Amino acid sequence: MKKTILITGGAGFIGSHVLRLFVHKYPNYKIVNLDALTYAGNLENVADIEKAPNYEFVKGDIRDASFIDQLFETYKFDGVLHLAAESHVDRSISDPMSFITTNIIGTVNLLNAARKIWTESFENKLFYHISTDEVYGSLGDTGFFVETTSYDPKSPYSASKASSDHLVRAYSHTYGLPIVLTNCSNNYGPNQFPEKLIPLAINNMKNNKPIPIYGKGENIRDWLYVVDHARAIDLVFHQGVNGETYNIGGHNEWTNIDLIRKMCEIMDRKLDRDAGSCASLITYVKDRAGHDLRYAIDSTKIKDELGWLPSLQFEEGIEKTIDWYLANEEWMNRIVSGDYENYYKQQYVKR
Ligand code: NAD
Ligand code: DAU
């Protein structure tokens, strides 16, 4: 079936993997990547597909309502996969406003534009909002987030994502807009901006720099390989039920310190260093304000209803990830030689 679909945030980490999968798998779709190319957006992430006949890149900001209306008028999208967002918790603590404008207002601009061009019929139309498990707040030592867990966001980032989730559901309830949502756990893999724990740690290990661990390193995250998230997004976009929410997770919980120790062992081996070399770089620093203790997803619903399961074991995924960063030094070097240096100083040197 021919379709024109919009993917927002396609130059970012997860968006680039979703784009690649869709461009290759759906030659009949025209796929438009809308991205403002903020500090986190990088067209190098999608350089391999830029010449594909079913792909087009548009530079633009979801905060600009008239631009978004015009874009929808021009392309008459059949479907939207909305990933564009400010995504880093630490930045939301130092600069909450950009999270409010992009994650909340930006999402509403897209919802309004979709509503306007789909006035005649909602048939075969879909607005898919990609969200996070952080909207559910923080777990104690036991239990899992399920789709009916009450929202309890704790950071400006997660509160802005929670707000956008509520608005998407409100547009479904009030106007009948066809929607689906997914809430996913922590992703890792190639192309992740090195402000996030895993790529930041790989880069620091490689360059013999301290590896900053917030607090005691006892916080727990549930890690999922990014390509498995992209596969889940494909499945939900095509088979998800209108109005439904699906949780996506890796069944793969690690304390931050155990995760970093595991990565240190792999890096010592890959860099041919003495055992314990990378671990000697581990440095405990001041904790993140309001640091959520534990996230863990119960993904029974997407497994039972849509047949999704992660395809990679973590040991394999983290090796692949480390190999990618070691093989793509140029990608990393271009990022860390720009504004990143200022960010790093503000975030870590003053800590
Ligand atoms: P990212 O920060 O790597 O990429 C975000 C992309 O959005 C960038 O390309 C950026 O240029 C673009 N963008 C930002 N503001 C924009 C604006 N105003 N207009 C247009 N484009 C804009 O983020 P990511 O980690 O790939 O996350 C993508 C989505 O998935 C986000 O909505 C995030 O909340 C969600 N999510 C992320 C994770 C994770 O572990 N990274 C887990 C669950 C859900
Ligand atoms: O759970 C999904 C979320 O996962 C996504 O919605 C977010 O967009 C994504 O950034 C991620 O949020 P986290 O805050 O969990 O990811 P981050 O990589 O920033 O941190 C992972 C853990 O590591 C967290 O407990 C904080 C800790 N940490 C992080 C950094 C950057 C450190 O100890 N040191 C660090 O330098």
| Tens digits of residue pLDDT in 43-59 | 999 999 999 999 999 99
256 lines ligand 2 (CB under 6 A): yes
Q: What is the pLDDT of residue 218?
A: 98
279-304: per-residue pLDDT in tens? 999 999 999 999 999 999 999 999 99
Closest ligand 2 atom, CA of 134? 1
Does the domain spanning 3-188+224-251+293-312 belong to CATH 3.40.50.720? yes
Q: What is the pLDDT of residue 21?
A: 98
Q: How confident is the model at residue 63 (pLDDT cuts 50, 70, 90)?
A: very high
- Angstrom distance (rounded) from CA 274 to CA 114: 56
Mean pLDDT of the chain: 97
Classify residue 308 by burial, with Cβ atoms within 10 Å: 0-12, 13-18, 19+. Answer: buried
Of 221, 318, 347, 348, the residue with max ligand 2 atoms within 8 A of its CB, to mutate for a pocket test, comes to: 221
Task: Show me where the domains of the chain are located.
Answer: 3-188+224-251+293-312
Looking at the CA of 200, which ligand is closest? 2
Q: What is the pLDDT of residue 351?
A: 65
Residue 338, pLDDT above cutoff 90: no
Residues sharing a CB contact under 8 Å with residue 249, sequence separation 6 or more, in sequence order = 133, 145, 184, 185, 222, 224, 296, 297, 298, 299
Residue 350, pLDDT above cutoff 90: no
| Stated pTM of the model | 0.98
Q: What is the pLDDT of residue 132?
A: 98
Mean pLDDT, range 247-260, rounded to an integer: 97
Q: For residue 133, indicate whether it is catalytic.
A: yes
**CB-based contact 223:250 (threshold 8 Å):** yes
Distance 89 CA to ligand 2 centre (A): 7
Of 183, 214, 226, 297, the residue with max ligand 2 atoms within 8 A of its CB, to mutate for a pocket test, comes to: 214
Q: What is the pLDDT of residue 214?
A: 98
Closest ligand 1 atom, CA of 84? 7
Q: What percent of the chain has pLDDT over 90?
A: 98
Q: What percent of the chain has pLDDT over 70?
A: 99
204 lines ligand 2 (CB under 6 A): no
Q: What is the pLDDT of residue 349?
A: 83
**Residue 81 is encoded by which pair of tokens?**
């996969």
Q: Of 83, 95, 90, 108, which is closest to residue 14 (Cα–Cα)?
A: 83
Mean pLDDT, range 226-239, rounded to an integer: 98
Looking at the CA of 183, which ligand is closest? 1
- Which residues contact ligand 1 via a Cβ below 6 A? 9, 11-15, 35-38, 40-41, 61-63, 83-87, 102, 106, 130, 132, 161, 184, 186-187, 193
Q: What is the pLDDT of residue 1?
A: 76
Closest ligand 2 atom, CA of 87? 8
- Angstrom distance (rounded) from CA 346 to CA 342: 6
**Residue 226 is encoded by which pair of tokens?**
């990014």
